[in-house]
Amino acid sequence: MIDKLNAVKARFDEVETQLCDPAVVSDPACYAALMKERKRLQPIVDCFVRYLVAQQSFDEAKSLLDAGGLDKDFRALAQEEYDTQKQTLDALQEELKVLLLPKDENDDKNVIVEIRGGAGGEESALFAAVLFRMYTMYAERKGFKIEVLGENATELGGFKEISFLVVGDGAWSRFKFESGVHRVQRVPETESQGRIHTSTATVAVLPEAEDVDVQLNPADLQIDTFRSSGAGGQHINKTESAIRITHLPTGIVVECQDERSQHKNKDKALRVLRSKILELEQQKQRDSIADTRKSQVGTGDRSERIRTYNYPQGRVSDHRIGLTLYKLEQFLNGDMDELIDALITADTAEKLRESEAVAG
């Protein structure tokens, strides 16, 4: 591990030097890439420096104890220093193991979230609206911005489907575990007998692809325009501003009719399309190594039931890690960090076990 850490520090120092090079400073793309790498390496280097300082103090205390000939009081001080630095080294070593784990390359990206009503008819569409509100409030807590990309609303205020962009540093790292089937158990507003119904909504979370991630060939795109449908208004059925793009090689179809401008709808649709193509490629990579991580918390198979929201009991349960919180109202109001932190911890622990198994 020390060899790897020395290599990381050497690379960090090299990046620091390059960032001072006028040729690099005048190249925005190169400078941005190096700054991103510096940001990634900085926590590892800072922890390693603390580790080296603690190691030096530990070695000095050990040398004093090994030398002998100390009076009682001085020996007690040396022993205390030895014990303290030993605990510090152990803690820093565990921290460094986590920092050295392969980083999710998407963690700092924006995310595209798609919510679709599932089983349960209108009740599932209303639940989709509840989830959208929950994610919007959570994003506000984290300082992220929400941009709706497209929606298909129902008369009662639900969503058959809605897609939106979450913009902010680290958005993927906080949202990536939300993919899957979300189940709700509650008495629907339309239920006159007071019976509890079970409905579902499906959430898909995609890292937003950048132009450098996915190159689109115009020849592979079939672009159709059509008239927007919606709640009405002077623009309805008068302008063909809605856009449907079909990616011929993969068969992926995206639509956007949220904006009155055809150009804006096309831009939004292309953003979603790039992200779906990127996710398809990354899913192929995940599938190829799936056998090595059968128990991963992961970014979620969207067909897997991951969470239940039980209104009568006021609880939310995540089935992947067996965690139940009796704070449903707070959770639906965006207070999601406790559960998301637990998911991140579980995923990190699984990666550590794998890393140690390979090393062993």
Domains of the chain: 2-99 (1.20.58), 103-360 (3.30.70.1660)
**235 versus 348: which is more confidently predicted?**
348
Residue 212: per-residue pLDDT: 54
* Best CA proximity match to 132, nearest among 101, 158, 94, 105: 158
- Which of 56-60, 100-104, 212-216, 296-300 has the weakest average pLDDT? 296-300
- How far apart are alpha carbons 200 and 309 in whole angstroms? 10
**Residues 127-140: tens digit of each pLDDT:** 999 999 999 999 99
**314 versus 40: which is more confidently predicted?**
314
Alpha-carbon Rg for the chain in angstroms:
26
- Which of 21-25, 67-71, 119-123 has the weakest average pLDDT? 67-71
- How far apart are alpha carbons 290 and 353 in whole angstroms? 16
Which amino acid does the sequence have at 337?
A: D
- Which of 5-19, 28-42, 215-229 has the weakest average pLDDT? 215-229
CB 205 within 8 A of CB 131: no
- How far apart are alpha carbons 75 and 68 in whole angstroms? 8
Q: Is the pLDDT of residue 295 over 50?
A: no
Residue 222: per-residue pLDDT: 87
In which band, very low, low, confident or very high, does the pLDDT at 294 lie, cut at 50, 70 and 90?
very low
**Residues 72-117: tens digit of each pLDDT:** 888 899 999 999 999 999 999 988 988 888 787 788 888 999 999 9
In which band, very low, low, confident or very high, does the pLDDT at 299 lie, cut at 50, 70 and 90?
very low
Residue 322: per-residue pLDDT: 94
Q: Is the pLDDT of residue 231 over 60?
A: no
In which band, very low, low, confident or very high, does the pLDDT at 336 lie, cut at 50, 70 and 90?
very high
- Which of 66-80, 125-139, 239-253, 293-307 has the weakest average pLDDT? 293-307
Distance of CA 305 to the CA centre of its chain: 18
Parallel/antiparallel/unpaired status of strands 145-153 and 180-186:
unpaired
- Which of 36-40, 240-244, 299-303, 354-358 has the weakest average pLDDT? 299-303
**278 versus 346: which is more confidently predicted?**
346
Structure tokens at 163: 């897609």
CB 97 within 8 A of CB 131: no
Q: Is the pLDDT of residue 50 over 80?
A: yes
CB 125 within 8 A of CB 160: yes
Q: Which helix (H) or strand (E) holds 305?
A: strand 305-310
CB 158 within 8 A of CB 122: yes
Q: Is the pLDDT of residue 314 over 80?
A: yes
**280 versus 15: which is more confidently predicted?**
15
Q: How many CB atoms lie within 10 A of CB 55?
A: 16
Q: Which own/partner pairs from 343-352 qualify as long-range (CB within 8 Å, at least 24 positions apart)?
A: 343/177, 343/297, 343/318, 344/173, 344/177, 346/297, 346/320, 346/321, 347/177, 347/296, 347/297, 347/298, 348/98, 348/101, 350/293, 350/295, 350/296, 350/297, 351/101, 351/102, 352/97, 352/98, 352/101
Residue 300: per-residue pLDDT: 44
* Best CA proximity match to 180, nearest among 302, 276, 79, 312: 302
- How far apart are alpha carbons 132 and 114 in whole angstroms? 9
- How far apart are alpha carbons 164 and 205 in whole angstroms? 10
Q: Is the pLDDT of residue 44 over 70?
A: yes
**Residues 157-194: tens digit of each pLDDT:** 899 999 899 999 889 999 999 999 999 999 887 666 77
**What is the strand order of the sheet 221-226 is part of?**
221-226, 242-247, 252-256
- How far apart are alpha carbons 263 and 223 in whole angstroms? 12
Q: Which residues contact 169 (CB under 8 A, 6 or more apart)?
A: 108
Q: Which residues contact 151 (CB under 8 A, 6 or more apart)?
A: 159, 161, 162, 163, 258
Mean pLDDT of the chain: 85
Q: Which helix (H) or strand (E) holds 154?
A: none
CB 266 within 8 A of CB 223: yes
Residue 350: per-residue pLDDT: 87
**162 versus 276: which is more confidently predicted?**
162
